[in-house]
Amino acid sequence: MSDNRLQFDVFLAHNSKDKPEVIKIANKLRERGLNPWLDKEQIFPGDNIQEVVFRGISQSKVGAFFISQNRLGAFQRNLELGAIIQFFLEKKEKGFRVIPILLPDISDIPDELFHLKQWAWIRFTNSNVEQDEEALQDLIRGIIGRNFQGKDIASIERKILANTQVVDSSPSPNNTEPEPEKFLNIPVTSFKFETAKLIPGVLSLGKSSEIQRITKNSNYFAQDLGNGVNLEMVAIPGGTFIMGSPENEEGYHSSQSPQHQVTVPPFFMGKYPVTQQQWRVVAALPKVNIDLKSDPSYFKGDNLPVECVSWNDAQEFCARLSRMANKTYRLPTEAEWEYACRGGTTTPFYCGETISTDLANYNGNYTYGQGQKGQYREKTTEVGIFPANPFGLYDMCGNVWEWCEDGLHENYINAPIDGSAWTSPSTEYMLLRGGSWSGYARGCRSAGRGRGSRDFRLNLCGFRVVSSFRTW
C-alpha cells in the first residue's frame, strides 16, 4: 500500500511576492523527477488554507523555506515554520530535513528567522534562478538525502525517474486494510466523548440550570508508560483564537489583557491531568536533572490527579518521559493551554456563560454570573468523571491548577502571537491555569491565570503534558 503522507518530495514555503521564482524552481525539480508541494497548485477556492498547508507538510519528505528581501509572510512565519520544525523533530531519524533557501537578493538568514539558522542553507546567486545549476543540484541532493552523497546528479535523476515509473499507488486487491489515520505523523484512534453546554436558569422563576449534553468525536494516541499504564494524548487541531479576557467579563484581571489574536499550530495534549498512577511509573525512570518523590500527593488514589508537584518537578517528569518515549513531551505553553481549554468557544467557560459543580470540581459555595451554588467536595476528584470540553479534554476547569511552560508577565503587551512560550531563565513566577477544587468558579474561567514559584508545591497544583514535536 502506498504512503499518501509522503507523496511530495519537498514542501515549498515562500512569501507570495517570491512566487514567480519559486514556480521556476518547482518546474526544474519536476524536470528531474521530483514532486514538490506548491500552494498555487494544491489550494483551491473554498479550502481551509491552514488544514491544506498542514496536510501538505505532513505529506512531504523535506521542508524548504525560500527567503528573500521580502522575508516570510506572517502565515509562513507563524504557521508553516512552526509546523515544519515540529515535523522535523519527529521525523529526523527518518531523514526529514529543513532546507533554508536564499534567493539572489539576500546573502544571509535574517535574525528574526533565527530558527532556520541551525540548518545548512542553499543560496541561489543567479538572478535567473532556473539557470543556477549549482544551487539546483544542491537542492536536489538535500531533498534526496545523505545516502546519495558522492553520486553524480544524472544518476540521482535516473533513480528518481525509475522509482516514479514503477510505483503503483492503487490499492492491492489482496490488501484491503485501510491505512490508519495519522495526526502529526502519529497513528491515532477515534474516540467518542460527551461535552456539555450549560443553560442558566432564572432563579426568580424557580427554574434551575439546564445541562445540554452533546456527543462528539476526536482522535488520540496512547503512550505506553510501562507496567500496563498508558498516557492518552488527544489530537488538538491548529487554529487561531482570541486569547485573554474582555474587561467586562466577571472575574477579569488586568493580567488577562489586552485580548490578542494568537495562531496555535496543531499539537497533542493529555486527555486528563497526569494521574498519580502515571506519575509513579515515570518517577521510577532514571533521573535526568532532579529527584522525584514517587508519591507526593496529599489526596491518595491511582486515578486522582497528582498534586503537590512543582513546576520543576513537572519539567523533570517531562524530561524522563521524553527520554523513555523518544518523543518530545513538555508542559503546554499558556497560549496552547487556553486555546485547548476554550475548544473553539469564546465564553468564560467552555460550557457557556457560567459553570456548575455538575460539570467541574471547584468550591460550589460561590457562584458565577447566573449560576447557582453547588457542591464543595473539599478534595480532588478522579479524572474524567465530568464531561469533556469540545476538544475531548477532561478536567480543564477545576480539580487542580495546571502548570504551563510560561513565566508570569503583568499583562499580554508584547506577548507572542504564534503559540510559543513567553519566559526566560530569570523568570521568578510560572503560570498556572484552570482553577482547583478549592477555588472559586471565576478561577476556572478559560482566561483565568494563577502563579507559583518554580519550586512551589501545594495540593492544588498538578499538570498535564503536551507533545507537538517542536521546542521553543
Residue 111 lies in a domain: yes
Q: Give domain status of residue 223, yes or no.
A: yes
Do residue 83 and residue 214 come from a single domain?
A: no
Task: For residues 119 and 97, give the distance between their C-alpha atoms in angstroms, rounded to a whole number.
Answer: 9
C-alpha cell at 35: 514532486
Would you say residue 233 lies in a domain? yes
Question: Among 116, 145, 166, where does a domain finish?
Answer: 166
CB contact burial 280-291 (16+ within 10 A = b; e otherwise): bbbbebeeeeee
pLDDT tens digit string along 265-305? Answer: 999 999 999 999 999 999 999 999 999 999 999 999 999 99
For the chain, what is the domain count? 2
Q: Are residues 227 and 370 in the same domain?
A: yes
Tell me whether residue 51 is in a domain: yes
User: Which of 166, 185, 210 is the last residue in one of the domains?
Assistant: 166
Same domain, 315 and 382: yes
> HEC profile for 79-138?
HHHHHHHHHHHHHHHHCCEEEEEECCCCCCCCHHHHHHHHCCCEECCCCCHHHCHHHHHH
In a domain, 171, yes or no: no
Q: Evaluate whether 102 touches 122 at the Cβ level (below 8 Å).
A: yes
Residue 15 and residue 19: Cα distance in Å, rounded?
7
Residue-level pLDDT, tens digit, the chain, 472 residues = 334 445 788 888 888 888 899 999 988 888 888 889 888 888 888 877 777 777 887 788 888 888 888 766 655 555 556 666 665 555 555 566 788 899 998 888 776 666 666 678 899 988 888 888 888 988 888 888 754 444 334 443 343 334 333 333 344 445 556 677 999 989 999 999 999 999 876 444 455 678 999 999 999 999 999 999 999 999 999 999 999 999 999 999 999 999 999 999 999 999 999 999 999 999 999 999 999 999 999 999 999 999 999 999 999 999 999 999 999 999 999 999 999 999 999 999 999 999 999 999 999 999 999 999 999 999 999 999 999 999 999 999 999 999 999 999 999 999 999 999 998 778 889 999 999 999 999 999 999 999 999 999 999 999 999 998 654 4
Residues 162 and 204 in one domain: no
| 124 and 253 inside one domain | no
Residue 132 sits in the same domain as residue 237: no
Q: Same domain, yes or no, for 159 and 249?
A: no
pLDDT of residue 151: 39
Q: What is the CATH number of the domain that holds 260?
A: 3.90.1580.10
Strands 401-407 and 461-462: parallel
- Asked if 155 and 221 sit in the same domain, the reply is no
Q: Are residues 347 and 302 in the same domain?
A: yes
Identify whether residues 80 and 136 lie together within a single domain. yes
Domain that holds residue 218: 199-467
- For residues 273 and 435, what is the distance between their CA atoms, to the nearest angstrom? 13
Does residue 193 form part of some domain?
A: no
User: Tell me, what DSSP letter sits at residue 308?
Assistant: S
Task: Say if residues 264 and 285 touch (Cβ distance below 8 Å).
Answer: no
- The tally of CA atoms less than 13 A away on the side-chain side of residue 292 is 31
Can you give the CATH number for the domain in which 127 is found? Answer: 3.40.50.10140
End-to-end Cα separation, the chain, in angstroms: 36
Q: Is residue 176 part of a domain?
A: no
> By the 8 A CB rule, do 408 and 430 touch?
yes
Phi, psi of 9, rounded to the nearest 5 degrees: -80, -35
Same domain, 152 and 255: no
Same domain, 267 and 414: yes
